[in-house]
């Protein structure tokens, strides 16, 4: 892929890729090398005003087009991504630091799948209709689903195009026009998507992308009176601030936030599978997934042998240039984030924890010697209440916490302010169901992790979020239902009842 295509990331407003009104830019750094990749147009109020005006203008035609027309355009956009899968995957790998295999096998196929899924889901969305017979009346109640208006979609850096499309696809399929903002840390694939949108002939103004910092472009989207709803994925503190800005104007918000998710391993589990599952859950994407299983709860009778094997497995993970096919662990997303994860490890030491392996800077020699690499760490010796077990680290750091029985496992699992996901490893169906029901989380996986069917609900409880995405939930977030109650004469003119 030609790196020149990264050198200038632009906004996409009213069908055109444009610079900021005042020409301002911010820098974009390659995580694997620490070197400059290029510049990003830095948007703010002026660019958001332009984007909202374009989206408002495009709304009547887009909202009144058929689900099939919209679906066909989304499918063409999906095909454009699939046709350039390698370019998109390479761009994601370079911009984010994630291994190329993950970008090629997970991120980019999922981005295309999001567009295809919602293209289909909108076509098959069911409308509600109730016949209501009363003693003196006969009524039909019909629910109309109207697109809510111009939608604001804001996404994070960890799964850049995957989560960007997870938001814009249902909004567009539901008939909304969109003003979206990818993370300023990983803006490149959204810019490639803008080019693809031009290529497939998405009407101007239907999808607008404002690039730039959260405090400028993001805040301007959230507070804009022309935007009816905000779908946000990112950190819990940012989510709280967005909710406080949106609430006074009753703007609809969907918030997908942070997690501190438990992986719970019972002694009756298939231990080989549980071990591999726990390792994948903790360290995939360098531990930078909201669903990461960063607390590994292990039944006391097997905790010593499990810990020994996990350390062995984690220590053998291939850390390297994200562009290499063999790399399992790539770079953290930025030098600031690397520093934040290192600070968390210092907190773990200060609290009396023991780091059994990892937690060291480990940039590979050569091209990546200036990159932001940290070896995956396993921490033991800390109570559930320790900061290390309470705060989201969002890096390649997992703790092991022993438990004695099912009740204490559930108690520890729920002993955090978050409630996004959990994975439970057991050979007993009864236990799996008992535990799943009592865990406070939006998603519980049993004997697996991060398996997704896009029809299922997705979201968090407690401080992990508000609302649900997935299938019908995603579509209905972007719609405003109106019930139309029609009284009709069911008896006809010849009736002698009246």
Is 8 among the residues known to form the active site?
Answer: no
State which of residues 31, 147, 149, 258 lies at the interface with ligand NAD (CB under 6 A). 258
In the complex, what is the shortest distance from the CB of residue 445 to ligand NAD, in angstroms, rounded to a whole number?
15
395 near ligand NAD, rule: CB under 6 A: no
Three-state SS at 450 = coil
Q: What residues contact residue 369 under an 8 Å CB cut-off, 6+ apart?
A: 363
For ligand NAD, give the closer residue by CB, 28 or 158: 158
Three-state SS at 361 = strand
For ligand NAD, give the closer residue by CB, 182 or 320: 182
| Continuous segment of H or E residues that includes residue 101 | helix 100-102
52 near ligand NAD, rule: CB under 6 A: no
| Continuous segment of H or E residues that includes residue 297 | strand 295-299
| Spatial distance between the Cα atoms of 437 and 424, rounded to a whole number of angstroms | 11
What's the burial of 430, exposed, middle or buried (CB within 10 Å: 0-12/13-18/19+)?
exposed
State which of residues 65, 241, 335, 375 lies at the interface with ligand NAD (CB under 6 A). 241
State which of residues 116, 181, 224, 295 lies at the interface with ligand NAD (CB under 6 A). 181
In the complex, what is the shortest distance from the CB of residue 17 to ligand NAD, in angstroms, rounded to a whole number?
19
State which of residues 47, 92, 256, 440 lies at the interface with ligand NAD (CB under 6 A). 256
For ligand NAD, give the closer residue by CB, 175 or 395: 395
| C-alpha dihedral sign at 465, 468, 469, 470 | positive
State which of residues 12, 62, 394, 478 lies at the interface with ligand NAD (CB under 6 A). 394
| Continuous segment of H or E residues that includes residue 487 | strand 479-487
Q: Which two tokens stand for residue 477?
A: 């977030």
96 near ligand NAD, rule: CB under 6 A: no
For ligand NAD, give the closer residue by CB, 290 or 302: 290
Stretch that binds ligand NAD, among 39-47, 238-246, 264-272, 358-366 (CB under 6 A): 238-246
420 near ligand NAD, rule: CB under 6 A: yes
215 near ligand NAD, rule: CB under 6 A: yes
What's the burial of 164, exposed, middle or buried (CB within 10 Å: 0-12/13-18/19+)?
buried
Continuous H helices in 174-302? 188-200, 219-223, 236-246, 271-283
Asked if residue 12 lies in contact with residue 199, where contact means CB atoms within 8 angstroms, the answer is no
State which of residues 175, 358, 460, 470 lies at the interface with ligand NAD (CB under 6 A). 460
State which of residues 157, 283, 306, 478 lies at the interface with ligand NAD (CB under 6 A). 157
What's the burial of 308, exposed, middle or buried (CB within 10 Å: 0-12/13-18/19+)?
exposed
183 near ligand NAD, rule: CB under 6 A: yes
188 near ligand NAD, rule: CB under 6 A: no
Cα end-to-end span (Å), the chain = 78
Stretch that binds ligand NAD, among 15-23, 231-239, 269-277, 351-359 (CB under 6 A): 231-239
| Spatial distance between the Cα atoms of 62 and 67, rounded to a whole number of angstroms | 10
319, β-bridge pairs? 329
Is 290 among the residues known to form the active site?
Answer: yes
Residue position matching structure tokens 């022309």: 226
State which of residues 13, 154, 178, 207 lies at the interface with ligand NAD (CB under 6 A). 154
State which of residues 29, 111, 178, 222 lies at the interface with ligand NAD (CB under 6 A). 222
Q: Which is catalytic among the residues 47, 290, 368, 392?
A: 290
Active-site residue set = 256, 290
Give contact residues for ligand NAD (rule: CB under 6 A).
Answer: 154-158, 163, 181, 183-184, 213-215, 218-219, 222, 233-235, 238, 241-242, 256-259, 290, 392, 394, 420, 460, 465
């Amino acid at each position: 892929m030609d790196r020149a295509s990264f050198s200038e990331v632009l906004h996409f407003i009213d069908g055109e890729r444009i610079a900021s009104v005042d020409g301002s830019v911010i820098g974009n750094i390659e995580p694997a090398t620490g070197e400059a990749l290029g510049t990003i147009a830095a948007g703010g109020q002026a660019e958001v005003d332009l984007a909202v005006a374009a989206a408002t203008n495009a709304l009547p035609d887009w909202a009144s087009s058929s689900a099939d027309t919209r679906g066909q355009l989304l499918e063409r956009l999906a095909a454009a991504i699939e046709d350039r899968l390698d370019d998109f995957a390479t761009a994601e790998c370079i911009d984010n630091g994630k291994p190329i295999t993950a970008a090629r096998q997970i991120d980019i196929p999922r981005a295309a799948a999001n567009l295809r899924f919602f293209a289909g889901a909108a076509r098959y969305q069911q409308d509600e209709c109730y016949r209501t017979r009363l003693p003196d009346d006969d009524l039909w109640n019909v629910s109309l689903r109207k697109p809510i208006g111009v939608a604001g979609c804001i996404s994070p850096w960890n799964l850049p195009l995957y989560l960007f499309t997870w938001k814009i696809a249902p909004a567009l399929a539901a008939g909304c026009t969109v003003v979206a903002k990818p993370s300023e840390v990983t803006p490149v694939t959204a810019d490639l998507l803008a080019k693809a949108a031009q290529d497939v002939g998405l009407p101007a103004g239907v999808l607008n992308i404002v690039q730039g910092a959260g405090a400028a472009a993001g805040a301007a989207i959230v507070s804009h009176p022309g935007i009816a709803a905000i779908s946000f994925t990112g950190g819990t503190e940012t989510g709280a601030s967005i909710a406080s800005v949106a609430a006074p104007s009753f703007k609809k918000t969907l918030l997908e936030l942070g997690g501190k998710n438990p992986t719970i391993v019972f002694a009756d589990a298939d231990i080989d599978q549980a071990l591999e599952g726990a390792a994948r859950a903790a360290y995939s994407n360098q531990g930078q997934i909201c669903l990461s299983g960063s607390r590994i709860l292990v039944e006391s009778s097997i905790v010593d042998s499990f810990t020994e094997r996990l350390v062995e497995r984690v220590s053998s993970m291939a850390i390297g240039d994200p562009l290499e096919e063999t790399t399992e662990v790539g770079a953290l997303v930025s030098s600031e984030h690397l520093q934040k994860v290192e600070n968390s490890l210092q907190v773990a030491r200060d609290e009396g924890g023991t780091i059994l392996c990892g937690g060291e800077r480990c940039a590979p020699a050569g091209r990546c010697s200036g990159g932001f690499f940290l070896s995956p760490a396993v921490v033991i010796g800390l109570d559930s209440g320790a900061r290390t077990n309470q705060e989201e680290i969002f890096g390649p750091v997992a703790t092991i916490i022993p438990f004695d029985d099912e009740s204490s496992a559930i108690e520890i699992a729920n002993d955090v302010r978050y409630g996004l996901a959990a994975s439970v490893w057991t050979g007993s169906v009864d236990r799996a169901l008992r535990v799943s029901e009592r865990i406070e989380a939006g998603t519980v996986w049993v004997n697996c992790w991060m398996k997704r069917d896009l029809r299922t609900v997705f979201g968090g409880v407690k401080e992990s979020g508000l609302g649900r995405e997935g299938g019908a939930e995603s579509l209905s977030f972007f719609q405003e239902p109106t019930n139309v109650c029609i009284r009709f004469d069911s008896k006809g003119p010849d009736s002698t009842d009246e």
